Amino acid sequence: MPRVLVVDDEPQLVRALTINLRARRYHVDAAHDGASALRLAADRRPDVVILDLGLPDMDGIDVIRGLRGWTRTPIIVLSARHASDEKVDALDAGADDYVTKPFGMDEFLARLRAAVRRAAPSDTQDLAVIETESFTVDLTAKKVNRNGADIRLTPTEWHVLEVLVRNRGRLVEQKRLLREVWGPGYEKETNYLRVYLAQLRRKLENDPSHPRHFITEPGMGYRFET
């Protein structure tokens, strides 16, 4: 059964969500502030986090950033903040969805089911061996083989490659890639990405000046294609 972490300082809402989720066979943990949420997330490893932005000890955006420093667990923001810039900030920080209060329980549960479905394939992808016409990436063994020979990557090169491969076929925004590889506070260091993508292309692409696998989407981010 999926495990859900509910983070909100409104006891009545937490109770209502807990009752509804447990009735649908979810495991539920609850936290009433940001610090407790981060501790519980590390201890219980939830499948989805439901997060209010208005917490008593810290802003929910900081909780999102804290989680995104080490996990890709889907985060659904549940907030009374309706301004579009608040939504943009939350999504840019790493939230996967944004639901405004008050909300309908049926719609919320549908969004939760969608988040669980999106997260589930990553478990099988983690075990996959991804093959292209010239190189192979083994995510479990953390190895890259090109034309029969192992390719040595630095830890940072591997981390960049891993994030892109796990999201193959999808755009990975610059901010997200910087945050996942280097952590919060590096989201403006786009020069890092240019350097490391150039190194990966040089080591793995047949024609680094015309890459087939490490694709740049100008002004947005990068995409890995097999």
What one-character-per-residue DSSP string does 41-65 give? HHHH--SEEEE-SB-SSSBHHHHHH
- Strand ranges across the sheet with 75-79: 27-31, 3-7, 48-51, 75-79, 97-100
Q: How many CA atoms lie within 13 A of 40 on its CB side?
A: 22
Confidence (pLDDT) at 124: 44
Q: How many CA atoms lie within 13 A of 35 on its CB side?
A: 2
H/E stretch holding 22: helix 11-23
Backbone angles phi, psi at 46, to 5 degrees: -65, 160
- Strand ranges across the sheet with 129-131: 129-131, 135-138, 143-146, 149-150
Q: Which domains does the chain have, with CATH numbers?
A: 3-119 (3.40.50.2300), 124-224 (1.10.10.10)
Q: Name the pairing type of β-strands 135-138 and 143-146.
A: antiparallel
Phi-psi region of 182 (alpha: psi -120 to 50; beta: other; left: phi over 0): alpha
| Integer Cα distance of 40 and 49 in angstroms | 10
Confidence (pLDDT) at 123: 42
Q: Tell which residue, 103, 104, 7, has the closest CA to residue 61.
A: 7
**pTM value > 0.85:** no
Q: Tell which residue, 179, 204, 202, has the closest CA to residue 192.
A: 179
pLDDT mean by block of 10 residues, the chain; 226 residues: 92 94 94 92 89 93 86 88 83 89 89 81 56 88 89 90 87 86 82 94 94 91 90
- Amino acid at position 178, single letter: L
Confidence (pLDDT) at 126: 46
